[in-house]
């Protein structure tokens, strides 16, 4: 497949997945981790593997904040308000670059599970670090992680589902179809 066509297909799937955040969903049941993994796996240019999914996430945050939540956020507000979300996202992408060199069901499912754990650890650390109600000690950190457990299950389910959809859709689009018509 031509490089430009690949970039368009991968970018389009990432944008669609990011826009799925606008559909009503359970808390943390979004494609965030899956798009980070997907970009890391299919962009040959690793700068694009970070930039395209990051921009898709950022744009969906701006839309969510301004249209869905009803509060005005400029582009920087969307970023600074979610520093640990974006940090987790970047760590997931870097993880994907390292461990998704070969795409198969096992690597995609394993990476989806690992992405969920990465996001859980980074985002809940951010909750603890920025909290005024949790103690600034190991006990407070453990409280933050404990409070985040219910959200982890939604993150895990979403990462697996959206990874299967993204990776499966891409493979379906690029792989030649079997000709099942009877031969004469």
Residue 163: pLDDT over 90: yes
The neighbour count for residue 90, using CB atoms within 10 Å, is 16
Instruction: Decide which of 62 and 11 is more confident.
Output: 11
Q: What is the pLDDT of residue 139?
A: 96
Q: Which residues contact residue 121 at a Cβ distance below 8 angstroms, ignoring those fewer than 6 apart?
A: 88, 145
- Measure the CA–CA gap between 176 and 13, rounded to whole angstroms: 19
Residues 6+ apart with CB under 8 A from 12: none
Q: Which of 52-56, 88-92, 130-134 has the lowest mean pLDDT?
A: 130-134
Separation between Cα atoms, residue 146 and residue 83, nearest integer Å: 21
CATH code of the domain occupying 3-173:
1.10.1760
Say how many C-beta atoms besides its own lie within 10 A of residue 150's C-beta: 10
The residue behind tokens 């404990």 is 146
Angle, in degrees to the nearest 10, between helices 3-19 and 32-42? 180
Instruction: Render pLDDT for 99-135 as a digit per residue (tens, 0 to 9).
Output: 999 999 999 999 999 999 999 999 999 989 888 899 9
Show me where the domains of the chain are located: 3-173
pLDDT at 4: 83
CA distance 70 to 23: 16
Q: Which pLDDT does position 109 carry in this prediction?
A: 97
Among 95, 86, 110, 123, which residue's Cα sits nearest to residue 167?
A: 110
């Amino acid at each position: 497949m031509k490089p430009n066509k690949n970039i368009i297909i991968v970018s389009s799937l990432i944008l669609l997945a990011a826009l799925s955040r606008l559909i009503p969903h359970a808390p943390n049941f979004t494609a965030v981790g899956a798009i980070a993994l997907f970009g890391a796996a299919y962009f040959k240019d690793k700068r694009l593997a970070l930039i395209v999914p990051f921009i898709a996430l950022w744009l969906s945050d701006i839309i969510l904040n301004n249209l869905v939540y009803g509060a005005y956020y400029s582009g920087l507000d969307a970023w600074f308000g979610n520093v640990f979300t974006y940090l987790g996202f970047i760590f997931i992408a870097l993880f994907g670059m390292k461990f998704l060199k070969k795409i198969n069901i096992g690597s995609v499912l394993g990476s989806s599970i690992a992405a969920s754990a990465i996001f859980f650890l980074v985002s809940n650390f951010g909750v603890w670090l920025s909290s005024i109600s949790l103690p600034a000690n190991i006990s407070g950190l453990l409280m933050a992680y404990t409070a985040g457990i219910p959200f982890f299950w939604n993150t895990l389910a979403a990462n697996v589902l959206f990874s299967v959809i993204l990776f499966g859709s891409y493979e379906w689009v690029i792989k030649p179809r079997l000709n099942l018509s009877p031969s004469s």
